[in-house]
Structures are given as C-alpha cells and as structure tokens.
Amino acid sequence: MTLVLASASPRRQELLSNAGIAYEVMAADVDESVLAGETARACAERLAREKAMAVGKKRPEDWVLGADTVVVVSGQILGKPSDAEDARRMLRMLAGRTHEVITGVCLVGPGKTVDTQSEVTVVEMAAISEDEIAAYAESGEPMDKAGAYAIQGRASRWIPRIEGDYSNVVGLPVALVWRMIQLGLGSQQR
C-alpha cells in the first residue's frame, strides 16, 4: 500500500513520520474558502475530502489522505491568516479564551473507497498582551497555521490546557488517521 499525503504541510509530514507511517507527498490545490452557512466541522471535512479526491484522481491505485484544520472561537471559523495584521486579529480573538480545533480527515482508497471523519480538541489560551501578540505575529510563525498559532512552537507558552488529541492541534489527529488506515486496509482484504 502506498499512502499519499495530499498536503505540503511539514507538520503533517512530521506527525506521520513520527508515528512510523510511510507516505509520499502530493499536495492538493483547492480553494479553502468557507461556504455560506457551513459549520466548522462540515468545512474541515469538505476541504479534506476535496483535497483527497483531487489527488486521488491522479493516483487512482493508491490510498490518499487529505486533511484540513480550522479553529473555531465564539462560532467564528478561523483559517490561516492572510497577513500579520490578520494574525494579530485572530490572536486577540483567542487570547484569554477557550476555542476548538477541528481537523477533517479523508482517506480515499483504490476503487474510490471514501472515509471522512473529524477530530475536535478544546484548547485554552491564556491572556496575551498586545506587545506579545505583535511580536508573535511579526515572527512569521503564525502565517500558515489555522488560528494563527503553532501549539508546538512559541505559542505553547500560552496554552495551559487542552482537552483531546494534541496532534490534532498540530494539524493531524494521528490516532484517528491510523484507525482509518487500518479499517481501509481491512476492507480491501475482504
């Protein structure tokens, strides 16, 4: 079995490697806009499915894993910031509050077997001063991350508590992905 990761995310690649899951990378190019009226979970799952299906068309004999992560605070979906000012806006929204990180994952197999699921982790972020927010935004670290922070990076100092899967907050719920892969392989062997 060849697993193809439909993402160029170095964090997702590192998580798969650390878990001992062999993969190849073929990034998908899809519009990550939120649709009108779409819930955060539906958005994350739809985008994961679109990424997996786009790469699956090019790799029909392989298993393809698509993923998309969104952050939700007070019902508002936060994707990746467009610039440093947008990162500062997002961090102000998250500071001193609890939010959810939702990652949709889709596994597309040979014969177009499709399994789409998602993981939700609750994250508490401490209060952050305006100076800390500005310095962090200017560091560049938030720029390609949903919610404008990296729990595995500098922002870890502001995260006193999470409830759920840590790897999900990094960008890929590894335990869920492993279960999906095992179920997918099992269905192929019947």
- 41-76 pLDDT tens trace: 999 999 999 999 999 999 999 999 999 999 999 999
Supply the residues annotated as catalytic: 68
> For helices 174-188 and 10-18, what crossing angle results, to 10°?
70
135 backbone φψ class: left, alpha, beta (φ>0; ψ -120 to 50): alpha
What does the pLDDT look like over 91-136, one tens digit per residue?
999 999 999 999 999 999 987 778 999 999 999 999 999 999 999 9
| Residue 166 dihedral angles phi and psi, to the nearest 5° | -60, -45
Domain residue spans of the chain: 3-188
pTM, two decimal places = 0.92
User: What is the CATH T-level fold of the domain 3-188, as seen in this structure?
Assistant: Maf protein (3.90.950)
